Amino acid sequence: MSARLSGRTALVTGAAQGIGKAIAARLAADGANVIVSDVNADGAKAAAASIGSGAIAIAADISDAAAVSALFAEISERFGACDVVVNNASIVPFIAWDDVDLAHWQKIIDVNLTGTFLVSKAATDQMRAKGRAGRIVSIASNTFFAGTPNMAAYVAAKGGVIGLTRAMATELGKYGITANAITPGLIESDGVKDSPHNNAFDFVEMLQAVKGRGQPEHIADVVAFLASDDARWITGQTINVDAGMVRY
């Protein structure tokens, strides 16, 4: 590991567990001051403590505009602004199309798409006010390319995240802010291990070009690259990280 993010402040949402926690740990290992945020306040505290390296926890529900404002007010007070924001928090449902109703649709869109917008808007307003050339990295999903079953609202929300990423790249490039998305394949996260998605590994591995089970660190390594100066000439892109399951 290098200290390529030394002196930078990085916010990771949904970082109490799973991919978000691995991202937070990797950015801390690269020298960043990491803010571990999650709707699960106790989980965020435990994750920050286990990461160490000065990582702190700030709880927030990303779908709640007031909570996101309070999160960025605290960031302003403690750090001025973020240099890196990783939009990772999401609900990962497993629900048959026949059971998808408006309430489910609205809940997934509120967290997975509107929450990503709320955090990105507050973060980039603050970056611009403080003159930071920031990096926004949003975790989408390769289910957007595959149209994976039992996830209709999720697939639609992740497509929205990719669209938002492109729009933010266009609008914010003139301020030195980049916005990119990552589309993971199936990853053995805490959430997946506790869900019916856990039964899909053999099928997914059969489709992958490179064999094995996706791990949170496979995604964290690519986030660390996009957050670094090495990625300064990349914006508006979607990087597919799924061992070659989807080749496009």
Ligand X SMILES: NC(=O)c1ccc[n+]([C@@H]2O[C@H](COP(=O)([O-])OP(=O)(O)OC[C@H]3O[C@@H](n4cnc5c(N)ncnc54)[C@H](O)[C@@H]3O)[C@@H](O)[C@H]2O)c1
Interface with ligand X (CB under 6 A): 13-14, 16-20, 38-40, 43, 61-63, 88-92, 111, 115, 139, 141, 184, 186-187, 189-192
Pairing of strands 178-184, 135-139: parallel
- Measure the N-to-C terminal CA separation of the chain; round to a whole number of Å: 31
Q: What is the 3-state secondary structure (H, E, C) of 202-213?
A: HHHHHHCCCCCC
At closest approach, how far in Å is the CB of 63 from ligand X? Answer: 5
DSSP 60-88: --TT-HHHHHHHHHHHHHHHSS-SEEEE-
Q: Which of 37, 153, 154, 204 is catalytic?
A: 154
User: What's the residue count for the chain?
Assistant: 248
Using DSSP, how many helices (H) and how many strands (E) does the chain show?
Answer: 10, 7
Query: What token pair was written down for 218?
Result: 């496979």
Taking the complex as a whole, the smallest distance from the CB of residue 226 to ligand X amounts, in Å, to 14
User: What is the Cα–Cα distance from 238 to 194, expressed in whole angstroms?
Assistant: 27
The answer to whether 169 and 236 have CB atoms below 8 angstroms apart is: yes
Q: Which candidate, 137, 237, 227, 247, places its Cα nearest to that of 185?
A: 247
Our answer to whether residue 248 is catalytic in this structure is no
Q: For residues 63 and 126, which CB has a smaller minimum distance to ligand X in the complex?
A: 63
Positions marked active-site = 154
